[in-house]
Copies of this chain bind each other. A is one copy, B any other.
Amino acid sequence: MDAMLDTEGKETSATHGAYRRLREMILTGELPPGQKLKIEQLRGILDTGASPVREALSLLTSDMLVERIDQRGFRAAPVSKCNFEEILLLRCNLEETALRASITNADAPWEDRLVLRHHHMKKASQNGARDFEDAHKAFHMALLDNSKLPLLLRYCSQLYDLNIRYRYLAAGGSSYKKRDIAAEHQQILDAALNHDADSATRHLIDHYRRTGEYLSSQMEP
C-alpha cells in the first residue's frame, strides 16, 4: 500500500522503473563511463530497494551498458575509440542486412508507418532533444522492422543505443542539427519508398559514416 505512492501510476514494477531510469542516466552520461555503481548509492537516487536495483543492473549488463565483475559489483561500461568504431562497423553491416530485407518485404502498411515516423521526427525536431531522440530512433527502427527478423532488430536497437551514448558524451546530445541531417533522412525515406535497396542502404550508411567520422574526430586516440 506504499508502492503506489509514485508520482504516476505508470511504472508497473520497481525493477522496470529502475531499469529505465538507469539506462537513461548511462546513455546521457549522467553516470559517466567506468563509474562504480554502488547499490546503496543508487538505492537512494532511485528510491527503491536493493533487489530491484541489482536486477536492473543485471538487465543493463545484457545491453552492454553495464559491466559486472563477479563479487566486485557493477560499473558503467567503459568507452573507447576502438569500441566506437566497432559499433559503427557492426551497425553498417547489420542495418544494411535489415534494410534490404525490409525492402524485400515492402508493403503498403510498412510504407505508411515510415511516412508517419518521418513526419513525427520532423515535428519533434522543434521540441527538446529528448523528444527528437525518441522519434529519431523510432524512424530508424521503422526502416528496419519490416525485415521481420527479431534477433537482428534487437542487435540493431542495442547498437543504436550504444551509439547515441557516444553522441551524448561527445557533444551533450546536440551535435546533431549541425549538419543537414533532414536532407539525409529524406533521401533514405524516398529510396525506401521507391524500393530501391541499393540507394537506400548507400544513403543510410553514408549517414552513419558521416556522423561517425565527426564523432571520431572529437575523441582522443
Task: Indicate with 1 or 0, residue by residue over A33-68, a CB within 8 angstroms of chain B CB atoms.
Answer: 000000000000000000100110011011110000
Residues of A within 8 A of B (CB): 12-13, 16, 51, 54-55, 58-59, 61-64, 70-71, 83, 86-87, 89-90, 93-94, 97, 149-152, 154-155, 159
Assuming A13-B70, A13-B71, A55-B58, is B97 touching A93 (CB within 8 A)?
yes
State whether A151 touches B90 (Cβ < 8 A).
Answer: yes
Given A83-B150, A155-B155, 14 further pairs, Cβ under 8 A: A12-B71, A13-B70, A13-B71, A16-B70, A58-B58, A64-B151, A86-B151, A86-B152, A87-B151, A90-B149, A90-B155, A93-B93, A93-B94, A151-B159
Which chain B residue shows the least CB distance to A149? B86
Q: How far is the CB of A94 from chain B (nearest CB, A)?
A: 8
